[in-house]
Structure 1
């Protein structure tokens, strides 16, 4: 969780002047931003600028005059005072002078000091630099980010106590106002302990005091009195129902017409009417001719009758064609309506499938998070097993000593436990406990070291109490003057009896190493911010530190 943040980007321009605790030469100051030069360059006129500052100044116009030259009395016609990018060159001389100047970190709480050439690397790695919390956008020191995310971040995730939904802490009050599983009270009837998600159903279907609107337009009436209201004004309600039925019929006809190509059908209907009229006219003409020529020879009007019959058949064919077209149009409209219904059902199914996939993805993400935690724990156990010793001797490497000292002095982490080691494959399980700022009578003056007997797998086969001599050695990394102290366990002390908990109470040397001597200039107990503590257990018992 400590990495859950973004680094707060620094300002453009130079370094803060506060990084030089002992002051600085004015030639180290940028003539544009007035801060300490960052990537110093020198102009043709001899003034120095940060590289990013001069690039910003030159971009502002075609012809830019050095402001420092103007302050010194240069005129507009002095070409040497005109800033040009091609006339800028890196000022390596000033860079070398600055490189070995003593600087300090300006982040509150950081005590780092070194030379200037190492400042950028420290600034990028400083545990006290402010970074932005990605959950709540607050600026927090990197060293405190984990605690912030765990304790004070308003954006951290919690589960609603009522519905178990995961929400941000800052949204808890707003969520409580809409939580579907919260118990609420019906304001109409006073009934309590109703789930909010069922309140609407209660008000709509159950609540006797809930006022409902009469469809006729009467004043709202309580549900319990609604039947009586309908009986008292039966005539008015029946009249309203008839009006609604009539309006519904009109709407149905309108929608049917909207689904049907009305203009096309009307045109076909008119054509059919015209054709029927022509057919009727032709039929009347045929009958008249037949009646008029009934007594005449049949062959005289035969050609005219054949022509009329052809016209009649052609008209019948056209009528059948138009009727077929109208039927086809009706079928096409019905097919389109069916297709729309099918598409709507398919869309609903797709939404349900998407919701199900989303739930499965969330479950898989939770499972992956649990696996990551398990892998981290297993990695830690494997690292411990890689450095375990079974010979009754442990060389304990303590890196980042200055960090442990600061945390101990601040009271955050007062002691360190060494890796466990053993007096044999089936021997005692042991470790050491070190207090960087001392403990007991050695607090704030000495480094205190204690010996701890831990519960092991073979304790039932070992001899108790533990009585073998224990020796502590703080190793001088120049192999000149090791600090050695030893003690023999007190058989009557509970610290050396068979453990009944994970570890016995620690016992050892509270005045092991004076802090003044440890930090004294010229000593080599701490080198590259690392010290080495060696613990040796004498193999005195016949059992050899193992099971009998």
Structure 2
């Protein structure tokens, strides 16, 4: 759309019209310094619609019009003669009302506007107006005012905080000063520095330390608070308080010491009682230790007798081993016969290897047959009659249901239902491509037409059916649904508005808390 400049008072001032392609047409006639020489020339120079001075004219419906006044989509050809006539005319600066005294030929006006000091331009930092007609838009100022605006008033100019020396935008300086750690604050107690006038100033980050350790006006507790002195006073009065109440503090500390001695006596008595109890337990443990030692001695004697019996059994076992060695010699003779059998087994293994090679050759032939088979059934049709039980509970729990996998040609597919999708009360039905045994032989991405039919067990007339097919938009929007699967299954692709939860629970579709969904898929040629 065309953009019209406005002067400082907000009135529309059609000095020129700027189109989206960057061209300029429709200069005001009253900017011309010399008058038009003839009516014919005036007709050529002015647009019949906007009455602006033409730069490139064209014929439309029998009249001369500028490019802005011609409807979009209409092809037109400029009249070059008009450009030659206009370019030599003397014209004043389009923003002369702002104070510019420039004048020259029309052909040089655009070059002048690129450097005119009175021409309104956008703030280079991009600050926006807070009120007026341009509220919310980037601020416009005369070109000569831009340096002063950037230096003094632009809210996006960069300033340096005089306290922490960090760089902050102009519009953010006041909020920054409210949190700046180095900003000087008056002491909350309004204390002063001795020998100086005025309240003490402390950096924001040091206020808590100042109050805790330094401020003479801060209320503090008496050091003998733990002994019973409950006086609170300003820090500067603490020395006087300690001198005046020295005898009281002394008496409080002595009283506290006596109380602690009494408590220590009680604690010592408890410790002595615990020590007596521990001594009795030690005596009992020693008696148990003597009893266990006797039991251990008896156990050792029994172990020695058991070891003697084991040695006697070992001697008998040695004699048996000798007898077995004699028998092994006879077994070795039999092993020679086994070796002969092993030779026969090696021969059999060679035959098995030959058979495996033949099987491998047959397998490669089978793969070739599968490729030929795929070329004949690449446009095959598959369907699945899917009975879904427990429909009410699935809708309430918003469960995701998957049907049994089925093949369409050599592609392995699976149905998927999302119940109460996004709490909208709709049922989402989709087709998921599943990893199959022939994926490396197939063409990807898969293109197909799919049909979902919700069967009515009363009358097929009421079957609910939706048919769609994969488009180029689907390939761009859902690439992960149509490519070769890398996981167990791809993302589903289908319809988000098959039928609502309320409709699917009607008696004509839902019988004994079950529904039957027929899924049909027809493979299509690549797009």
Q: Which has the higher contact order (CA 8 A, sep 6+)?
A: 1
Answer with 1 or 2: which has the greater Rg.
Answer: 2
Give the TM-score normalised by structure 1. Answer: 0.30
